Structure 1
Amino acid sequence: MDILFDPQLVERHRERALQIGDRQAHFLLNIAADEIADRIAIVERHFDTAIELHGATGVTAQRVVETGKVGSMTRIETSDEFLVREPNSKISSLENLGLEPASANLVISPLSLHLTNDTPGTLIQIRKALKPDGLFLAALPGSGTLQELRDVLLATEVELLGGASPRVIPFADVRDIGALLQRAGFALPVTDTETYTVRYDSIFPLMRDLRAMGMANPLMGRSRTPLTRRFFMRAAELYAERYSDPDGRIRATFSIIYMSGWAPHESQQKPLKPGSANVRLADALKGKSS
């Protein structure tokens, strides 16, 4: 298995984001929390035991509990710093989840799976932790996310340094995510994508938000050479030239993949052939009855 991310650096970035405590910078997590809760709300069943995996602020667990569809909610995080005053909580890394087999009716994962080196293995752990006919629902950034920033940083590095190193992490395609769900043994896997465009005054508040989200570069292959003020000023110029609106503000794209899968159960309908699904995740969930 190729090690793409530095696990310790990933955890440090997440903890630093928690310490920064910029609530406004958590807008993506808040959007994902509301979307996940809305999709659970339309499922015609009650989930006795639920788990939130690495939800950072815990807002997703809170929103899901507020739907009235959950009995007990357990939050799992990488350190106690995320779990202040949490009566039901556990500690685990992003990939070694330590979940008991068939222990939950519902598992939710908001915006953390994209930072796992062994995503297929992590999904298998989640599927095994679900009771038969249990539901897994997650959100993660997908391809297209930060495409403008990726382009600008690459162009700046080539222009000023004569080469390039990875500055923005790779994000999965929605079709790949669907295939991973099937590979992990989930029944009735469904994925869809929502794209959000956020505008900033310049590249600098965008990069501050990314740090406050815990989305700083954790790639093993990242350059260790510090970047100069000249580099960032030139990047800001290129960003404004290529991706600004008439009012001078720049655009940043965030593409969020929402994914669901069920632990196999004999009562479920037979799955479609791979690649034949053409329904939105919310519509699929709405049609699932107990």
Structure 2
Amino acid sequence: MQSPPKIFDTEALAMHRQRATCGDQGDWFLHDYAIDVVQERLQEVNRTFTDPTIIGWQGAQWNKKLGLSATVIPDTDTLDLMPNSCDLIIHALSLHWSNDPVGQLVQMNRALRPDGLMIAVMFGGQTLQELRIAFAQAESRVLGGISPHIAPMGEIRDLGGLLQRAGYALPVADAIDVNLSYQTPMHLMRELRGMGETNALMQRQKSPMRRDVLSAMIDEYQSTFATPDGRVNATMEFVFLTGWAPSDTQQKPLRPGSAQSRLAQALGVAERDLESE
């Protein structure tokens, strides 16, 4: 089987993450937000999990704040998971850096016991759309072309399809947009650096950014996405993928044509014959 193309430079990503661990812990507030959402969803499930696993470079922090006593493993391309070993797997805001997200979803599905739960949190396609636009406009004006600065992130419709391809039962994909504001675009980029979320694309420009390009990007960002109080907007889209390992005990959809009553009867309205109109 042919391996998927390598989009991300894993060595650069590891270096960025190592640098981030030495910075301000406050830069990881987006992890805290995602943890709170996951905790609420686990409470809604109303089930006690005995063998949870958390995947991600900040998995230890997720484990502590969720209070799960989970096994924590890194988000390597080949996950350190044994078949049928878990009843809960949480992929902790790292799947958007995977070179093979479908492969990771499949590996997690195989590691779950029947009726086990998987929750993956990742950044979606609307994330940093303002910064992406500002860089494209600035480079087009200064250089006459553009280079990749922000990783491509999946759209929710496509990501939901990945759950089905990976064989999950009862798949659900939903997104939450978090709108942030910063004093300047540089404050945003410093915070991204502090979170270990800076450019690790294989095709990224390796040389230092030109000062005129950076200056033009800042001008574009501030002129296009400024708030009334002089700050700038930034969008973070969180995508939550939820799926269950297939089990005979789960509810199954009814077969087409198996309904015992008509929708019009249930709604108490007259049924129309569209073919005769």
Matched, 1:188 2:202: no
Matched, 1:2 2:5: yes
Q: How do 1:111-260 and structure 2 match up within 5 A?
A: 111-260=93-242
Structure 2 residue runs without a partner (length 5+): 256-277
Q: CA deviation at 1:230?
A: 2.5
Cα RMSD for the two superposed structures:
1.5
Tell me the residue number matched to 1:107: 89
1:74 to 63, 71, 87: 71
CA distance in 2, matches of 1:216, 1:181: 27
2:29 to 8, 27, 30: 27
Q: Which runs of 4+ in 1 moved over 3 A?
A: none
Tell me how many residue pairs correspond in the alignment. 252
Q: Which amino acid aligns with 1:269?
A: Q
Q: CA deviation at 1:59?
A: 2.8
Q: Which amino acid aligns with 2:102?
A: P
Tell me the residue number matched to 2:269: none
Instruction: Using the aligned pairs only, state the percent identity.
Output: 39
Matched, 1:36 2:18: no
CA distance in 2, matches of 1:272, 1:237: 56
SS in 1 for 2:204: coil
Taking structure 1 as the reference length, what is the TM-score of the superposition? 0.83
CA deviation profile, 1:71-106 (whole Å, cap 9, x unmatched): x411113xxxxxxxxxxxxxxx52111211100110
CA distance in 1, matches of 2:35, 2:193: 20
- Largest Rg, 1 or 2: 2
Q: Which amino acid aligns with 2:13?
A: V
Once structures 1 and 2 are overlaid, which stretch shifts more, 201-210 or 232-241? 232-241
CA distance in 2, matches of 1:210, 1:218: 12
Taking structure 2 as the reference length, what is the TM-score of the superposition? 0.87
1:52 to 54, 57, 60: 54
Q: Which amino acid aligns with 1:15?
A: Q
CA deviation profile, 1:119-146 (whole Å, cap 9, x unmatched): 1111111111111110001210001100
Contact map agreement 1:145 1:253 (CA 8 A) in 2:
yes
SS in 2 for 1:47: coil
CA distance in 2, matches of 1:124, 1:57: 20
CA distance in 2, matches of 1:170, 1:214: 16
Closer, same or farther in 2 for the Cα pair 1:201/1:40, shift >3 Å? Answer: same
CA deviation profile, 1:217-269 (whole Å, cap 9, x unmatched): 11111112311222222211111100001111000000000111001100001
Contact map agreement 1:32 1:60 (CA 8 A) in 2:
no
Contact map agreement 2:59 2:72 (CA 8 A) in 1:
no
Contact map agreement 1:192 1:259 (CA 8 A) in 2:
yes
Tell me the residue number matched to 1:12: 15
Structure 1 residue runs without a partner (length 5+): 78-92, 274-290
Q: Which amino acid aligns with 1:48?
A: T
SS in 2 for 1:75: strand
